[in-house]
Amino acid sequence: MATFLYKLGRLAFRRRHFVALIWVALLTLAGVGAASAPTAGNTSFSVPGTEAQKAFDLLEQRFPGASADGATARVVFKAPAGEKMTDAGNRAAVKKTVKELSGGAEVASVSDPYTAHAVSKDGTIAYTSVKYKVSGMELEDSSRTALKGAAQDAREAGLTVEVGGDALNAAPETGGTEVIGIAVAAVVLVITFGSLLAAGLPLLTALIGVGIGVSSITALANALDLGSTTSTLATMIGLAVGIDYALFIVSRYRAELAEGREREEAAGRAVGTAGSAVVFAGLTVVIALVGLSVVDIPMLTKMGVAAAGTVAVAVLIALTMIPALLGYAGRRVKPAGEKSRLLGGARAARRGGQDRPNMGTRWASFVVRRPVAVLLLGVLGLGAAAVPAASLELGLPDDGSQPVSTTQRRAYDLLSEGFGPGFNGPLMVVVDAKDSARPKAAFTRVTDEIKKLDDVVTVTPAQPNKAGDTATVTVVPDSKPSSTSTEDLVHAIRAAGGDVEARTDAKVLVTGSTAMNIDVSQKLNDALLPYLALVVGLAFLLLIVVFRSVLVPLKAALGFLLSVMAALGAVVAVFQWGWLSGLMGVEQTGPVMSMMPIFMVGVVFGLAMDYEVFLVTRMREAYVHGEKPGQAVVTGFRHGARVVTAAAVIMIAVFSGFIGSSESMVKMIGFGLAIAVFFDAFVVRMALVPAVLALLGRRAWWLPKWLDRALPDVDVEGDGLRAERPRDTDPDADRELVRV
């Protein structure tokens, strides 16, 4: 592989005009496609295989036109102090709002609070339910605008009016904090390279890669039913890995220049060595992201595949466009150890002192001398950070988890005040009596059985369809939707449904948003171990090929588990316990999103292996070229620590930029990935890895002979390049580059 990439790097350097033209053309094509593509609605949400989804599908068949999974909204009214909602003036204002809402093109039905018994016992709070023909993710913005407008008209009549429900769900806003992340990345690159031009190359190529990836997602969003969160994730990961991959190749290029090689040769060798690490690091990220498909949640699968595509683009750009741009830059990209004149290069040259060991060398030497102490301290520290993960509570966000400043949260609180906390999460029980000899008796038996259960406030009479073979029963719990009591009630209804089916041949299914959240959480929990086994197993095999070792990949996997558990502990501490919540902009604490553990496992594993590959390949390169194991660790840090540190800081900055998002899911993902990269890069890879390798010595690179013969030789260390000689090098290249 190293030889192939070496030739690719030299070719891109020589044919830089052609390579640059190809990437500009691809960016333009993707941009035109995004601009001309039809506006995509919000993505649909389905969870195949869950009972809640089966119930939704059954309702679509047996209650045609009822829009069982359509968006809902509750417009909640509260009378002024000393008044009742039944007063004539307030009643007239509500009636006007109901009439106004009924005229929407996507509205299926609007209830009248006074005929639907939707007025609280004390008469101060009432609500109207709005049912839409399409799901909340497919609802047009005009329908949301009309909903907000009707609520505002009622406010002007003197009522307190708030709106809840999934009809108000909209695309998340990330604010401007992600720009700060990019700015931090730029500063780190300038400090790392000592050159504005060299620092600009990774940023430029990363932005081009993200531009191509996100524009392609936008162009295909309508056809493939991709939501806004998909492009947000692709942007987040694409920026981080795009900058990092380019950073490693530019850094290696400067190191090759420092050894006296011509620029074209240096570009070829940089791509042949660092580029090999980029390919395998990119493969681990792609495996982790595509592996999300095993969860069998279409939305999560699409997010993973789209982000994986953006990572693949970042790898290709790093391998081709970076050497092309280095060709354009010419002598303005300095060898390692030299700074540009603008950043003090002339002063540094006069001072000299190039033989002083750098920070990476000093740190690695310390760890090699004190491996046991560093190992124990690192493991104990990560273990302490992981302690909160033992209290992890999973769930999906509802209006109760919204900030108190939002109308959704205020509507949620008003409904709890007037009708009880469980009113915000009613359960819909679907009774399929098609195979029952006495459908009506089955419907009655279901309602009677549910009334006997604990934590039940209200059970409505069964509402059969026209055929009389299916009915719906609404159950209002006594507890709030996200409570364990409500979850227990769902399981109790399903258990009672099994008894009913045995006696009447009628099937009982529980659905609704609360039941769907419970089913999704369970599905994600059940998929976590198979997903972990698949992703870690495939990456383990890949790393055995890269490192020609069994213990190094095993150590990498165990270190990842430590960092991801510590990161989950930090997420629990902030988003569930409320530690530093004000600093992170978390207005409402609650359960951690159900998809967070499996998502962090996938993404963090891929990113963690980036640093493992970049850092340890340098160590193995030194080891196979004759250095002793301890010295190889120090050599790897001398060449790689500064760059890995810069890459980690950049990735942390990019992920942290998304903490400013208005969407709780994006905020939590941004924080979780940022803290996970911090733990993995600075504790696991920078401390535990050299400590373990120092303790293992030569055993770290042990590989059974039969396995060594069976594995392909991918030559990540670039041994094959020793036989290569510079060919087709333009003797006037440097003069041409300066003119360009």
Query: Would you state the structure tokens that stand for residue 13, as one six-digit string?
Result: 């350097």
pTM for the model stands at: 0.76
Residue 333 pLDDT greater than 90, yes or no:
no
pLDDT at 609: 75
351 has a pLDDT exceeding 70: no
pLDDT at 302 over 70: yes
Kindly tell me if the per-residue pLDDT of 227 is higher than 70. no
Is it the case that residue 739 has pLDDT exceeding 60? Answer: no
- Tokens representing 41 are 């609605």
Task: Tell me which long-range contacts 222-227 makes (C-beta under 8 A, separation of at least 24).
Answer: 222/37, 222/38, 222/39, 222/40, 222/41, 224/302, 225/40, 225/43, 225/44, 225/298, 225/302, 226/40, 226/43, 226/302, 226/306, 227/42, 227/43, 227/137, 227/299, 227/302
Q: Quickly state the pLDDT bin for 325 (edges 50, 70, 90).
A: very high
Tokens of 582: 């004000």
Please give the Cα distance from 482 to 422 (Å, whole number).
9
What is the share, in percent, of the chain residues with pLDDT greater than 90? 23
**CA–CA separation, 2 vs 15, rounded Å?**
20
Smallest CA-to-CA distance from 199 within 188, 209, 208 is with 188
Beta bridge partners of 456: 477
Q: What's the pLDDT at 162?
A: 93
pLDDT at residue 301 in the model? 85
As a whole number of angstroms, the distance between CA 69 and CA 132 comes to 9
The per-residue pLDDT for 347 is: 45
CA distance linking residue 615 with residue 633, whole number of Å: 9
DSSP state of 351: H
pLDDT-based confidence at residue 582 (cuts at 50, 70, 90) = confident
**How is residue 119 annotated by DSSP?**
B
Q: How confident is the model at residue 348 (pLDDT cuts 50, 70, 90)?
A: very low
Place of tokens 């690490």: 277
- Residue with the two structure tokens 């303790």: 695
Confidence of residue 25 (pLDDT cuts 50, 70, 90): very high
Q: Provide the pLDDT for residue 187.
A: 84
Pick the range with the lowest mean pLDDT from 317-321, 460-464, 580-584.
Answer: 580-584
The yes-or-no verdict on residue 352 having pLDDT over 70 is no
Residue 296: CA count within 13 A, CB half-sphere: 12
- 610 falls in which pLDDT band (50, 70, 90)? confident
Least confident of 231-240, 332-341, 730-739: 730-739
Return the minimum-mean-pLDDT range out of 166-180, 378-392, 456-470, 543-557: 166-180
pLDDT (0 to 100) of residue 343: 47
